[in-house]
Chain A
Amino acid sequence: ELKVEQNPLFLSMQEGKNYTIYCNYSTTSDRLYWYRQDPGKSLESLFVLLSNGAVKQEGRLMASLDTKARLSTLHITAAVHDLSATYFCAVDIQAQGGSEKLVFGKGTKLTVNP
């Protein structure tokens, strides 16, 4: 059974600082997604990583994927309060016939303090 582990689960950081969230998974997959969730809200797609070595950046967030190490990272640069949210990584499990599901990590609750 696929396991997706995120760490840390809770992250409190000061504005202006940098930090990295890690996402490890236990089986082969070359599709990984990062989502953001604000309290009581839906999941907002941040990044779609589809191949080994993929790197994507949007604003202060950068995500990368190493399929050989089964590791994805979400790097936060010069954090601002607006980035406070819970971040999920999700690994795509594809079976035959195009069926698929996402297996989510437990999420990293990020709090950015002024």
Chain B
Amino acid sequence: DSGVTQTPKHLITATGQRVTLRCSPRSGDLSVYWYQQSLDQGLQFLIQYYNGEERAKGNILERFSAQQFPDLHSELNLSSLELGDSALYFCASSHIPGASGGADEQFFGPGTRLTVL
């Protein structure tokens, strides 16, 4: 158990709908990362937040957005869902991004499996 929690574990929805995925980082971790894992694209970085502010963006679609709240939990919002958005979405957290000595190691949550029908 990495200490990162994600809810829900599974989500089944229809095309065109909107969903929210939730992540709570490990205690004391300030940075949260979102990744998408699909069969055709592999594991891809979506976005990073640090202490409430967006820090880095990856291949995140405009239909997707995220935020990190004052209590450091994060939410990933996916809207106008398409079949191709079906994937496993992971959240990871680290203590201090960019720190030396491994303090920036990312620990992954159990993931949310999204199925769009």
Q: Give chain A's interface residues, CB within 8 Å of chain B.
A: 31, 33, 35, 40-45, 48, 50, 88, 90, 92, 94-95, 97-104, 106-107
CB distance from A72 to the nearest CB of B (A): 16
Interface range, B side: 20 to 34
CA distance A9 to B21 in the complex (A): 30
B96 within 8 A of A: yes
Q: How far is the CA of A41 from the CA of B109 in the complex (A)?
A: 9
Pairwise interchain contact A101-B58, C-beta atoms closer than 8 A: yes
The verdict on B64 contacting chain A, using a C-beta distance below 8 Å, is: no
| B101 proximity list for chain A (CB < 8 A) | 50
**Distance in Å: Cβ of A82 to nearest Cβ of chain B:** 19
In the complex the two chains form, is A50's CB within 8 Å of B56's CB? no
Known A92-B104, A99-B48, A99-B97; contact A43-B56, beta-carbon cutoff 8 A = no
Query: Given A42-B90, A42-B110, A42-B111 in contact, is the A101-B48 Cβ separation under 8 Å?
Result: yes
> Which residues in B have their C-beta under 8 angstroms from that of A92?
104
The residue of chain A having its C-beta at the shortest distance from the C-beta of B6 within the complex is A42
Chain B, 42-96, CB within 8 A of any chain A CB: 42-45, 48, 50, 55-56, 58, 90, 92, 96
Which residues in B have their C-beta under 8 angstroms from that of A103? 45
Residues on the A chain within 8 Å of B43, using CB: 88, 90, 104, 107
On whether the beta carbons of A100 and B97 are closer than 8 Å, the reply is yes
Given the known interface contacts A92-B104, A103-B45, A104-B43, the answer about A43 and B90 at a Cβ–Cβ threshold of 8 Å is yes
